[in-house]
Amino acid sequence: MNKIPIQSAIDLDTSDPLGHFRDQFVISDPELIYLDGNSLGRMPKTAAQLGNDLINQQWADRLIRSWGEGWLEMPVQIGDKIGKLIGANPGEVLLADSTTINLFKLASAALQHQTGRSKILTDDLNFPSDIYVLGSVIEHGGGNHQLVIVPSEDDVHGPEEAIISALDEDTALLTLSLTTFKSGFTYDLDKVTRAAHAAGALILWDLSHSAGVIPMSLTSSGVDLAVGCTYKYLNGGPGAPAYLFVREDLQQKISNPIAGWMGQRNMFDFELAYLPTKDLSRMLTGTPSVISGSLVEPGVDMLIEAGINEIRKKSVQLTNYFIELSQALLLPSGYRIKSPTDSDRRGSHVSLGHEEALRINKALIDRFKIIPDFRAPDNIRFGFAPLYTTFVEVYQTVSALKEIVDSDLYKIYSQKKPVVT
């Protein structure tokens, strides 16, 4: 590692305008290098205080009175804050359910709206859960639609041109992950949205790996629908509720496939006839998860404070630095870069391929206290969360990756897959 001295990493950290945010997260083990913020973000310190308040005051003390003291508005109020990160207007984002369930709701609603069109278009880099639930949407929607999965040519880059060519007058819905979960490839939001609209299709973006690291304006791009999770770069905590976005002028034109009392106009009248609210809350179903939903706010507040453009700047610097070091030092040791090298086409994570990826991953965790994640069959994914990842951590990770292979350290680990990777 003496070709690129660690001093360059130290200098980058010293001049990092977002450096002070790291101190706002709980870092109980300073030696741990956590590169999994794209799977489960670190915990903001203020979340611990808020959690205590939620349990001991709002729940234990205020009991049912708390519903009138903020709980009922929470899905809209936090939804609006998430809206600031993804360029949505107030009233266009709701915190609710999980990403997969929101995808079911919005995709079903889209198909019902798009009468006479039978095709749903996606790609084979999409998150498997998204593909599964689209199958459910079709099955429970009467089985009259087909899912067309456009393949990536190299398993790294999304088939953007092939998707645009596949859009036709029979396409009801195009749905994609804006940033793909394995390679981090990121679609051109504007261009693909425009192409979908030109064909008369609706577009539904999954923003799970993009929100909080990529600047976007759903409103000015004319996006119809979007979903995403809050426990990755938004640092909302394990299993925290997801969010859904519906463009304002579409809100009254679509209906909720899982109607429930939280979406009912005057819900406390307990009318038996379902009459949906006039705003986006019609997409709600049952009682919100108050505790974990409320805990989404501290992470989102921090991202708003840091500013999405500053965050993106550092994200690009981090991933560029990782890729440059990898190209210089890791390619000779059998690693391959399995993410786009063009930063305009990349989210905030980078994948490396290696035929010994599983055992290298185990050695990283066990020997070096570095946590990335392994994605079968031969991918190691490194997530760089700009608010707490340092350049020195990037440097140390590349250095460890090199040593693990060059010194055969991985060979003592078994080839058996652990349950959670």
Ligand X SMILES: *Cc1c(COP(=O)(O)O)cnc(C)c1O
x/- letters, 204..233, toward ligand X (CB under 6 A):
--x-xx-------------------x----
Catalytic, 84? Answer no
Q: How far is the CB of 89 from ligand X (least distance, A)?
A: 24
Distance of alpha carbon 124 from alpha carbon 130, whole angstroms: 10
Q: Which of 104, 187, 231, 322 is catalytic?
A: 231
Distance of alpha carbon 394 from alpha carbon 384, whole angstroms: 9
Contact 96, 290 (CB under 8 A): no
Q: Which of 314, 381, 395, 413 is catalytic?
A: 381
Residue whose structure tokens are 């539904």: 204
Q: Which of 366, 74, 316, 350 is nearest to 215 (CA)?
A: 316
3-state secondary structure of 269: helix
Catalytic, 359? Answer no
Question: Which of 100, 171, 326, 339 is in the footprint of ligand X by CB under 6 A?
Answer: 100
Q: Kindly state whether residue 186 participates in binding ligand X, applying the rule CB under 6 A.
A: no
Centre a 10 Å sphere on the Cβ of residue 102 and count the other Cβ atoms it contains: 26
Distance of alpha carbon 333 from alpha carbon 321, whole angstroms: 18
Q: Kindly state whether residue 177 participates in binding ligand X, applying the rule CB under 6 A.
A: yes
Q: How far is the CB of 239 from ligand X (least distance, A)?
A: 8
Q: Kindly state whether residue 244 participates in binding ligand X, applying the rule CB under 6 A.
A: no
Contact 150, 176 (CB under 8 A): no
Catalytic, 314? Answer no
Question: Which of 40, 74, 93, 98 is in the footprint of ligand X by CB under 6 A?
Answer: 98
Specify burial of residue 32 (Cβ count, 10 A radius: 0-12, 13-18, 19+): middle
Residue whose structure tokens are 């991918």: 379
Residue placing its CB nearer to ligand X in the complex, 24 or 98: 98
| Non-local CB neighbours of 333 within 8 Å, separated by 6+ positions | 401, 402, 405, 406
Q: Kindly state whether residue 335 participates in binding ligand X, applying the rule CB under 6 A.
A: no
Q: Which of 25, 127, 245, 384 is catalytic?
A: 127
Q: How far is the CB of 389 from ligand X (least distance, A)?
A: 18
Q: Kindly state whether residue 130 participates in binding ligand X, applying the rule CB under 6 A.
A: yes
Catalytic, 232? Answer yes
Catalytic, 413? Answer no
Q: Kindly state whether residue 111 participates in binding ligand X, applying the rule CB under 6 A.
A: no
Q: Kindly state whether residue 99 participates in binding ligand X, applying the rule CB under 6 A.
A: yes
Half-sphere exposure of 333 (CA within 13 A, CB side): 24
Q: Kindly state whether residue 129 participates in binding ligand X, applying the rule CB under 6 A.
A: yes
Q: Which stretch binds ligand X (CB under 6 A): 202-210, 342-350, 369-377, 401-409?
A: 202-210
Residue placing its CB nearer to ligand X in the complex, 72 or 131: 131
Query: Backbone phi, then psi, for 120, in 5-degree steps?
Result: -110, 130
Q: Which of 232, 211, 127 is nearest to 177 (CA)?
A: 127
> What residues are annotated to the active site?
127, 206, 231-232, 381
Which residues in this chain contact ligand X in the complex, by CB under 6 A? Answer: 98-100, 127, 129-130, 177, 181, 206, 208-209, 229, 242
